[in-house]
Every structure is written in structure tokens, then in C-alpha cells.
Amino acid sequence: MSDTIWEYAEPALREYRSSRLLCDYLRKNDFDVEMGISGMPTAFVATYGDGKPIIATYAEYDATPGNSQKPVPFREPVIPHAPGFEDKHNMLGVAATSGIVAAKEAMDRHRLKGTLKIFGTPAEKICIAKAFQARDGFYDDLDAVIANHPLNFNTVVWDYLPGCYLAAAFQFQGLQTYGGRPWAGRSALDGVVMMNVLANFMKEQILPHDEYPSLNEIVSVGGQCLTNIPEFAEVFYAMRSPTISGTKKIFEVLKKCAEAAALAAGMKFNTRIMGASRTGVPNHALSELVFRNMELVGAPQFTDDEKEFCREIQRNLGFEPMKEPLDEALTKPWELEQWFKGGCDDFNEFTWYAPSAWLHTTMWFKSPTGFDIPSWAIATTSKTGITHKGGLFAAKTIAASMIELLTDSKQLKKAKAEFKERTQGGIEECLIPKDEKPPIDLALPEFNGEETVIRYPTTGCKPLYRM
């Protein structure tokens, strides 16, 4: 299934075949499956059993545009600029799905009581699905969450969860006219360009307030007809910060930049919240339980050929190849130093509703401290035994941990007591407005197996007409 999803390589909110593959597998294994939840066609929830406790996990299966990469130790895309898998989402969802089906088999065999749930969460790379599902109440009744993510070592996250994230679309509506008389129109692209210029000038005001904040953007729509002044243009911004307050500050500055650009260009603009993630709540009790099961399963072990493959990648990246390029040990989570700096992940959404543990497992190679590996080099192991073994390890750990929670009420009570203590100050607000719809209508790319296709978006702006 992992290799099949790798072949599909469907990007955010367009994972039609990938989500259907997982849902079909769950249905064949007696799960009740509801697709299209929270207004996203490729999102789903699958349920088995009834009553308490309710133990959950989630699947991701979106590819990243531009990440296409063959399983070779040098840069060579399958199709240039097509989607691919840096974060091994081709395996992440398969591991979670396989793990929960294994737990279901054990429930049947030993007549265990409780409920298993798995959420299909598309568009993780833009942090979309989980925030909308959380806002809509899908996580309210959960008792525990056990999730997985690929990495280059094996552990469970302890204290250092990812930071906060917000993605927004700014849409500018101008007036289309023939390019030979541009003075008669209003170029929406001018609005986008001026906003980007203002945002770059304001980065000193945006970034220094917090440790490891970041801001980046892409122009999703710049026009359609070269001989006409574009009437619609759109830019996406991603904002990251360790805190919600820091992320909100970045967003407020961006909105002012959009307002100023629209005023100067004489046009209208509209803002859409695309995705978000809050900060996370650790749970040591559940992380300890998951790590015990990682020890029970045993860390993935790799062949000499797999290690040499990684050494060849290291050589091509320009650093000395390592004798042991792949991690075959377990890192105790309480000995884990801070490593997740400057990033975000919407796993955090679950942590505000139930005790949650996030296990990581080896699916790519080590690198020297301070060396930032390019995306292609990480993606190149996505369709190899390295990723397969990491996924199998994650699936077994998820299954064993779920069964322990179903059979040992003391462990679940311990985790829930810690959760209650950590959240006694209240739940951080969801960053998705109540009336916001998921951005399935925006100019997000699709991939049909041969080429990338962009849909023209629904603007949300009324056309601008000259008076």
C-alpha cells in the first residue's frame, strides 16, 4: 500500500485514490468508514467497536508538490516538479492503518471492549485537516491518541513538541482589460507583488519577537491570460512560531500589508484561513507506555545494501559517509534533547483533547550536526526497504500500545490524570474560525499521474468594475 500511494503521489486535498485505498482496506477489515468529514472529500473517520475507552490514531497520505524523486542516491525526479514524499506520508498513513487493524484483530481474538478510531487527515503539509476536524468536534470524545511520524532516529516525543502554524490565502480582485491599454484596468498581480514587498520590508517587525519564527509565501495565481491585465491574483503565506500569540502577531502584520497594497492599487482583497495548528501538550505517561512497546517490538534493522545506499547519498551530498548511516537503536525520550526547532505539525491538535503520544521511527539516514539535508535526499528512501521497515515498526508499536491501553485501565488513568493536570489552565483556542470552510476550492495543485494541474479558484471577492 505504501508503494501504491507513492505511485499515486497526490498532493494536498486531492488525495482521491490514496484515501480510497486506505478506506477500502479498513472496510475489508470491518471498520465503519465515513468519508468527506469536515467538508473535505479526502478526509475520513473509520471506527471499530463500541463503548469506552476510545483509542485513536490518524493517517496522512498527501504528497508534496516538487518532491518527485526516484529511489536512487542522486537527484532524479520521476517527473520534474511533480509531487513526491519527503516526509514519507506514503507510509505514515499505511503504518497507522495497519497498526489499528492489527489492534482490531487482537480485540476480536481476546474479546476486548472499547472503540478504535482512525482519522484520515489530508493536506498535512499545509496543516489543514486536523484543525478543521478538531473545530468540528471530531476529537471531543477521545481517550488517547497514538500517532507516528518518520524521522532519522527512533524515539517518542517527550517535551519538545512542534510550534504553532497558520496558513492564509490573500486574494486580490482587480479589473481585467487589454494589456495594450493597461491604464484602463487594475492588475490584481500588482496587489500581490506590493503585498509581498511590504511583507518583506516588515519582517524585522514580524520575526524577532520569538525564537525560531518563520514566514514564507508562494504566488498561487498570478493571472491567466498574458495579453490581458489579470483581474484575480492570490498569494499563500505560511506563518510559524513557538506560540499562538507570536503567530497571531505575524498574521496581523500581514493583514495590514494586504490592506495597504489593496489601497495603493485601488482594488479589493479577501482573506481565507487555510490551515493551522496550536502548540502541543506533552504526556509523559503515554509516551513511556509507547516507548515500552517500542522496546518490545525492537528497533528496525537494515541490510548492508540499504546502508551502502545511504552512504552513496551522503557522498553525493558532499560529506564523509558514515559507517552506520541508519539508526538501529532506540533513543529514550526522557534523554531527548530539543531537536524540533522552527517547525510545526498539526499532530498538536490532538493533544488538546486527549493524552497523545507521537512515536518517530527511522526512515532516512543520519547527517552531521548542522547539515541541512535537501528534500530530494530525504525523499529518495520513500520507496525502499528503509521506509518499509520503519513503517512496520511503527505499525507494530501502535497496535501493541493500543492493546495495552485497552487491557490495563491503570495506564490510561495515569495518562488522563497527567492530561488533566497539564490542561487545567484551559484549552488553547482553535485558530480556524467557526464560519471558515476548508480550502478545497483554492488554487492547490492536482497531479494526474503525468502532469500537475492547477484549478482556477473561487475568489470570494466581488468583481471590481469601473464607475
Whether 117 and 227 share a structural domain: no
Whether 23 and 130 share a structural domain: yes
Distance CA 58, CA 51 (A): 19
Q: Please state at what angle helix 385-407 crosses helix 304-317, rounded to 10 degrees.
A: 120
Output the domain CATH number for residue 65.
Answer: 3.40.630.10
Asked, for residue 295, whether it belongs to a domain, the answer is yes
Whether 35 and 155 share a structural domain: yes
Whether 242 and 197 share a structural domain: yes
Asked, for residue 227, whether it belongs to a domain, the answer is yes
| Whether residue 196 has pLDDT greater than 80 | yes
| Whether residue 340 has pLDDT greater than 70 | no
| Whether residue 246 has pLDDT greater than 90 | no
pLDDT of residue 2: 98
Least-confidence region, from 144-153, 205-214, 341-350: 205-214
The mean pLDDT of the chain is 92
Whether 58 and 11 share a structural domain: yes
C-alpha cell at 241: 512560531
Strand, helix or coil at 242? coil
Provide the greatest CA pair distance for the chain: 77
pLDDT tens digits along 441-466? 998 888 777 776 666 555 555 544 43
Asked, for residue 459, whether it belongs to a domain, the answer is no
- Residue 8 phi/psi, 5-degree rounding, is -65, -45
Give the strand pairing for 214-221 and 155-156: unpaired
Given pLDDT bands bounded at 50, 70 and 90, which one contains residue 206? confident
| Whether residue 248 has pLDDT greater than 60 | yes
Tell me what percent of the residues of the chain surpass a pLDDT of 90: 81
Helix (H) or strand (E) holding 233: strand 232-241
Cα dihedral sign, 388-391-396-399: negative
Mean pLDDT of 171-192: 92
Number of domains in the chain: 2
Whether 85 and 111 share a structural domain: yes
pLDDT of residue 466: 38
Whether 301 and 197 share a structural domain: no
Asked, for residue 399, whether it belongs to a domain, the answer is yes
pLDDT tens digits along 45-59? 999 999 999 999 999
Residue 325 structural domain: 2-162+280-422
| Whether residue 143 has pLDDT greater than 80 | yes
Mean pLDDT of 131-139: 97
CA angle 190, 191, 193 (to 5 degrees): 65
Location of C-alpha cell 505560511: 238
Whether 152 and 41 share a structural domain: yes
| Bridge partner list, 59 | 120
In terms of phi and psi (left: phi > 0; alpha: psi -120 to 50; beta: otherwise), the region of 39 is left
Asked, for residue 460, whether it belongs to a domain, the answer is no
Mean pLDDT of 239-261: 92
Whether 157 and 168 share a structural domain: no
Asked, for residue 432, whether it belongs to a domain, the answer is no
Whether 103 and 200 share a structural domain: no
Strand, helix or coil at 396? helix
pLDDT tens digits along 385-396? 999 999 999 999
Given pLDDT bands bounded at 50, 70 and 90, which one contains residue 245? confident
C-alpha cell at 223: 493571472
Contact 153, 327 (CB under 8 A): yes
Q: How many CB atoms lie within 10 A of CB 179?
A: 14
Asked, for residue 415, whether it belongs to a domain, the answer is yes
pLDDT of residue 463: 47
pLDDT of residue 336: 83
Strand, helix or coil at 423? coil
Contact 381, 85 (CB under 8 A): no
pLDDT tens digits along 396-452? 999 999 999 999 999 999 999 999 999 998 888 899 999 999 999 998 888 777 776
Whether 249 and 375 share a structural domain: no
pLDDT of residue 426: 85
pLDDT of residue 334: 93
| Residues 6 or more apart whose Cβ sits within 8 Å of residue 322 | 310, 311, 314, 365, 366
Least-confidence region, from 154-158, 220-224, 296-300, 351-355: 220-224
Asked, for residue 145, whether it belongs to a domain, the answer is yes
How far from 57 is each of 34, 92, 164, 266, 408, CA to CA, in Å?
15, 11, 21, 48, 18
Whether 245 and 139 share a structural domain: no
C-alpha cell at 269: 482583497
Least-confidence region, from 32-36, 72-76, 462-466: 462-466
Is the pTM for the entire model greater than 0.85?
A: yes
Output the domain CATH number for residue 265.
Answer: 3.30.70.360
Distance CA 464, CA 452 (A): 30
